[in-house]
Structure 1
Amino acid sequence: MATYWIVGVSGGPDSMALLDQLRVEKRSLVVVHVNYHQRDSAQRDQDLVERYCQQYQIPCVVFDGSNLGEGNFQDLARRFRYQAFREVYVAYDAGRLVLGHHLDDQYETILFELLSQRKPDYLGMRKYSRIQKMLVYRPLLETSKEELIDYCHQHNIEYGIDESNLDRTYTRNQIRQVLKDFSQEDKQLLLSYRRHYGRIRKQQNKEVQKFLKTQSSRMNLQAYQLLEDRIRPLVLRAFFKDHQIDTHEMSFRFFKDLDDKIKRGSHFDQMIDENLMLRLEYGYIFMVGTTRASYEYVLEKVQYFETKYFKVQATGPSNCALTLYESDFPITIRSPKPEDEIYMRFGHKKVSRFFIDRKIGKQERQLWPVVENARKEVIFVTNLGCDINHYSTKPSLYVVK
């Protein structure tokens, strides 16, 4: 069975020419069209895309993007569009997402990124890239818009012109107007600079990868701080990518601000998305999940077993030893709670204080074994020991992390 290609089709000459070329190549296609209902001609474009797909029996999925909420419309529209692409991409188990970006779009993107000082990994658009775990393919990057319009006329392909492209409210349209005054030589200079930028980035990326190879899933703060200013934000971007984080929407300024925060050396958590955060703690920089992990095992009697969090053994280190009495059962071996306290020989101690004193990281604390007796008293914490009433030279068991 042929692999489906998802094609983003707006109804303009570029995407309609792309769709026709792919159809002629006999690709297995699924078209995605997003109607934002922002202009009078929006329904016209949807209709012509649907007519073409009906004529050639190509599946067409239309998304209604009329309620995007408040904020920057271009940004919201782009996010919605890629979410739509992703939904269909997954549903059809697609091999790639094909987009109609052309040579004129490439000029605009290069100039936009230079003016905005985004400093991306790659200046402009690549023929192949990955966005939201989709393989994105842009086959028209060396073809001008004029050539695509000519193609549509030659092959009698209906298309629509988006009149909002003339609206100078949007930065992209302002850049489009500026480029009209560029000579062909000026545009070639943009492409030449793009190649020069790529060579510099390639060398910098070698330095980045050389550093990251010396680190594990956690970066050593001191080693990171010794890197040159120009390299550190690039290391952060690569570190994010190594953790399967899509950095496409993250600007250089974002990584520079994060670098400034890390340089101060104070503990902090930085939310990355709803599932992940970056943490600086006890001299290391690392990623952690935002979901709090917990566990609970109830024992009616002494028994020896192993879990992914701890082991209950007949022997072990002295600070893992616990003596139990019949009145303690059933005991519960569980993850810590914020209110946990234990009564030691030197007085009551908050379990959280023990973690801080031992410099145990927040992520590791969540899974640290605590033993509670039938009266809901914390009687033992691994590596701290047991409370004043459960210490003896003949322990019942050892709870080892």
Structure 2
Amino acid sequence: MLKGKWVVAVSGGSDSMTLLDQCVKAKMDLIAAHVNYQKRDSAWRDMKLVEDYCEQHGIPCYVKLSHYEGKGNFQAYARDFRYAFFKELVMKYECAGVLVAHQLDDVIETYLIQKERRQIPMCYGLAYETVIDGLRIVRPLLSMSKQACRDYCVMHHISYGDDESNFTDDYTRNRIRHQIVEKMSLEEKQSLAKQIQMMNEEKRQLDQTAKQAAQQAGEYLAVDDLLARTDGDNVLRQWLLLNNGGKNHSQAFIESLFQRMSKNGNWCADLPDNKRLYCDYGFLNVVDEQLTYSYTLEKFEPLDTPWFKVSAQGTSLQAVSVAENDWPLTIRSPLPGDEIVLRLGTKKLNRWFIDRKKSHKERKCWPVVVNRVGKVILVPEIGCEVAHFTNKPNVFVIK
């Protein structure tokens, strides 16, 4: 039995009512969560039967109404809406996570959808336990079929409702359910579930090897090394997971990147959450296009940041002589048009990046030191502004 306090997601269907009743019989510490999307008349019936069951068994029940008026993907909206609600309850009542009632038929349906779309997911079918946006999700019913859940409710005299929107083939999942899964015998479902389990075990081993290669590459992945590997697509996928906030990518997207890599040259591709993948001089790097930083120093003091550090010693190309009227200094990320006047002339920062073949990741976070009037007086590795050059520098900024 799972320990701790749990939120149980209860729609009112036979699956979730089975899960709720099993948790009650196991004497678990529970909170029931129900979402009413107000998209069908029977939604109020389902809400009432969940509330009635919870009242009968003394379970706290929390209901949230949705007021969706958009024209986009309702299923995606509904998923985000309910999981945000579940997370809110988990955090408020200090729960271990949320229990959801996905069952064996859901595993089969999800796998067939993945197969139809040529997806290479994190897990084929559905995992027993996963984490979404920091929310722990557990699926205790994966070995029970849909019919077994219905039979359980009938046997234990538990009321449940059927969502009539599932009766049509309007959605991909419904079509696969009606045309394939519902025609399978229990033995066929269990056999396919075992195959899926074996595929996941094989995938886990392959992913582990690819993940090790991705970790060794760090923030920069060499294109030549990637193209030379037989598991290059998986290494790239694992590397993107590590460098792009755990976001998985479709096989079609991975294949499109390999096509671009095979043609050499520099290029970029958009990623989720305002990030971008750059291929710079034979190396891949992920850049957060929204990344900026700015630090203000009222006086000299040692400072260590993810992008630079301020020190009392360093090399000549990290040095600057700061006068009293230069303070406060600002050390920030580059801005368009940044330039610095050196002893041999004016150097545009972007031109220097190109000449030195700096990656876009480096360009995005390279430190620029400006004085109180906004004049650039130092760019580490380029040098200091001509009027701030002496043989006794007092500030060093190290990239």
Same fold (TM over 0.5): yes
Summarize the Cα distance change of 1:43–1:349 in structure 2 as closer, same or farther, 3 Å threshold.
Answer: same
The answer to whether the 8 Å contact 2:36/2:47 transfers is: yes
**1:1-400 maps to which residues of 2 (within 5 A)?**
3-67=4-68, 69-178=70-179, 179-184=181-186, 186-228=188-230, 231-242=231-242, 245-247=245-247, 250-261=249-260, 264=263, 266-268=266-268, 270-273=270-273, 277-298=276-297, 303=300, 305-308=302-305, 309-313=308-312, 315-323=313-321, 329-330=326-327, 332-335=329-332, 336-373=334-371, 376-392=374-390, 394-400=391-397
Quote the offset at 1:150 in angstroms: 2.1
Summarize the Cα distance change of 1:258–1:83 in structure 2 as closer, same or farther, 3 Å threshold.
Answer: farther
1:341 maps to a residue whose letter is: E
Quote the offset at 1:115 in angstroms: 2.2
The answer to whether the 8 Å contact 2:10/2:33 transfers is: yes
Summarize the Cα distance change of 1:297–1:175 in structure 2 as closer, same or farther, 3 Å threshold.
Answer: closer
Larger displacement relative to structure 2 (217-226 or 147-156): 217-226
The answer to whether the 8 Å contact 1:35/1:66 transfers is: no
Quote the offset at 1:19 in angstroms: 0.3
Aligned to 1:164, what secondary structure does the other structure show? helix
Aligned partners of 2:185 and 2:368: how far apart in 1? 72
Summarize the Cα distance change of 1:109–1:386 in structure 2 as closer, same or farther, 3 Å threshold.
Answer: closer
Quote the offset at 1:53 in angstroms: 1.2
Aligned to 2:216, what secondary structure does the other structure show? coil
The answer to whether the 8 Å contact 2:285/2:361 transfers is: no
The answer to whether the 8 Å contact 1:132/1:246 transfers is: no
Aligned partners of 2:203 and 2:340: how far apart in 1? 55
2:283 maps to a residue whose letter is: Y
Aligned to 1:130, what secondary structure does the other structure show? strand
The answer to whether the 8 Å contact 1:331/1:371 transfers is: no
Q: What does the per-residue CA deviation read over 1:321-368, in whole Å, with 9 as the maximum and x for residues that have no partner? A: 434567x53462422432322222332221232233233344444554
Aligned partners of 2:278 and 2:59: how far apart in 1? 47
Q: Which runs of 5+ in 2 are unaligned?
A: none
Summarize the Cα distance change of 1:6–1:257 in structure 2 as closer, same or farther, 3 Å threshold.
Answer: farther
The answer to whether the 8 Å contact 1:7/1:32 transfers is: yes
Aligned to 2:107, what secondary structure does the other structure show? helix
Q: What does the per-residue CA deviation read over 1:111-169, in whole Å, with 9 as the maximum and x for residues that have no partner? A: 22222222324321222233332232222222222222222122221111112211111
Aligned partners of 1:68 and 1:83: how far apart in 2? 18
Q: If the length of structure 1 is used for normalisation, what is the TM-score?
A: 0.85
Aligned partners of 1:289 and 1:186: how far apart in 2? 46
Aligned partners of 1:117 and 1:325: how far apart in 2? 63
Larger displacement relative to structure 2 (303-312 or 119-128): 303-312
Aligned partners of 1:89 and 1:259: how far apart in 2? 41
Q: What does the per-residue CA deviation read over 1:5-59, in whole Å, with 9 as the maximum and x for residues that have no partner? A: 1111110111111101101111111111111122221110011111111222212
Aligned partners of 1:102 and 1:234: how far apart in 2? 29
1:212 maps to a residue whose letter is: A
1:94 maps to a residue whose letter is: C
Aligned partners of 1:226 and 1:79: how far apart in 2? 39
The answer to whether the 8 Å contact 1:96/1:134 transfers is: yes
Q: How many residues align?
A: 391
The answer to whether the 8 Å contact 1:310/1:369 transfers is: no
Summarize the Cα distance change of 1:74–1:373 in structure 2 as closer, same or farther, 3 Å threshold.
Answer: closer
Summarize the Cα distance change of 1:214–1:370 in structure 2 as closer, same or farther, 3 Å threshold.
Answer: closer
Aligned partners of 2:326 and 2:76: how far apart in 1? 59
Aligned partners of 2:65 and 2:262: how far apart in 1? 45
Summarize the Cα distance change of 1:91–1:260 in structure 2 as closer, same or farther, 3 Å threshold.
Answer: farther
Aligned to 1:389, what secondary structure does the other structure show? helix
Aligned partners of 1:320 and 1:183: how far apart in 2? 72
CA RMSD of aligned residues (A): 2.9
Percent identity reads 34
Aligned partners of 1:198 and 1:17: how far apart in 2? 27
1:399 maps to a residue whose letter is: F
The answer to whether the 8 Å contact 2:105/2:189 transfers is: no
Summarize the Cα distance change of 1:92–1:273 in structure 2 as closer, same or farther, 3 Å threshold.
Answer: farther
Aligned to 2:336, what secondary structure does the other structure show? coil
Aligned partners of 2:106 and 2:199: how far apart in 1? 18
Aligned partners of 2:256 and 2:385: how far apart in 1? 46
Aligned partners of 1:220 and 1:311: how far apart in 2? 31
Aligned partners of 1:192 and 1:273: how far apart in 2? 36
Aligned partners of 1:185 and 1:19: how far apart in 2? 26
The answer to whether the 8 Å contact 1:68/1:76 transfers is: no
Aligned partners of 1:365 and 1:105: how far apart in 2? 46
1:208 maps to a residue whose letter is: A
Summarize the Cα distance change of 1:280–1:42 in structure 2 as closer, same or farther, 3 Å threshold.
Answer: same
Aligned partners of 1:221 and 1:245: how far apart in 2? 21
The answer to whether the 8 Å contact 1:345/1:387 transfers is: yes
The answer to whether the 8 Å contact 1:272/1:278 transfers is: no
